[in-house]
Amino acid sequence: MKSITVGITGASGSIYAQRLLVKLIESPSVDRIDLVLSQAGIRVVNEELGINAAGTGHRVVTELTGIESDKVIVHPASDIGATIASGSYESHAMIIVPCSMSSLACIASGVMRDLVHRAADVHLKEGRKLILVPRETPVHAIHLENMLKLARIGVQIVPAMPSFYHQLVTIGDLIEHFTHRLLDHLDVPHNQATRWEGSRKR
Ligand SMILES: Cc1cc2nc3c(=O)[nH]c(=O)nc-3n(C[C@H](O)[C@H](O)[C@H](O)COP(=O)(O)O)c2cc1C
């Protein structure tokens, strides 16, 4: 069983976080999800999904996912004394989806402006898996340098870029496919992926 920390920051692509949370809640391999949204993350979730994700508790989870679940613990980004701020708390992996360039820069610099950055820093210092899903275009040299710096210390950089070679038809299909790739990176088993089997087998 896995405990996973999910951060949502103020980059576009909050639908990926929404779909991932649903799949993590539904997964029998995941027993706890710690969720933290930055202030800007709350803003972008509202802009993109029309959901009020401010606050803590079951309401936020239900609003975000449509599921009532005890698996998810929502932490305020201001609570730098939350469980996930400590290395002694069990969390197997953290994913920040979507990850803003601002949060990516903070993590790359060891600056902890809020609980999202602190929890990410804890995963780094404890040698645990950290996955960042940045979304920005175009990117300048500082963005690229920050990503390189993090990749060099083992952070998985998984840009929110859908692929088109699976001949998926709708935007929803692309989102689902990318979300399944995130589950792969989190080592959460699933059987819904469209896996490439070579051109001839299509
Ligand atoms: C609607 C909206 C979309 C945004 N999209 C992006 C984006 O795709 N990538 C990004 O790096 N920042 C984006 N931003 C800017 C970030 O939200 C801003 O830099 C913020 O300070 C990030 O803070 P955080 O990292 O604490 O969440 C967006 C802001 C808004 C309001």
Write out the two tokens for 167: 């001949």
Classify strands 72-76 and 156-157 as parallel, antiparallel or unpaired.
Answer: unpaired
Closest residue by Cα to atom 18, ligand 1, is 10
CA distances to 87, 177, 194 from 198, rounded to whole Å, are: 42, 17, 12
Nearest CA to ligand 1 atom 26: 38
User: Per-residue pLDDT for the chain (202 aa), expressed as one digit of tens each?
Assistant: 899 999 999 999 999 999 999 999 999 999 999 999 999 999 999 999 999 999 888 899 999 999 999 999 999 999 999 999 999 999 999 999 999 999 999 999 999 999 999 999 999 999 999 999 999 999 999 999 999 999 999 999 999 998 888 777 899 999 999 999 999 999 999 987 678 878 765 5
Torsions phi, psi for 30 (to 5 deg): -115, 120
pLDDT score of 166: 79
Ligand 1, closest atom to CA 48?
Answer: 1
Count of alpha carbons within 13 angstroms of residue 40, beta-carbon side: 15
pLDDT value of position 202 = 53
Q: What is the C-alpha separation between 145 and 108, in angstroms, rounded?
A: 9
Atom of ligand 1 nearest to the CA of 100: 11
**39 CA distance to ligand 1 middle (Å):** 10
- Predicted pLDDT at 201: 57
- pLDDT value at position 164? 86
Single pTM value for the model: 0.96
From the alpha carbon of 116, which atom of ligand 1 is closest?
26
What pLDDT shows up at residue 172?
93
**Cβ < 6 Å from ligand 1: which residues?**
9-12, 38, 40-41, 43-44, 47, 100-103, 135-136
Supply the pLDDT for residue 195: 82
CB atoms within 10 A of CB 66: 9
pLDDT of residue 127: 98
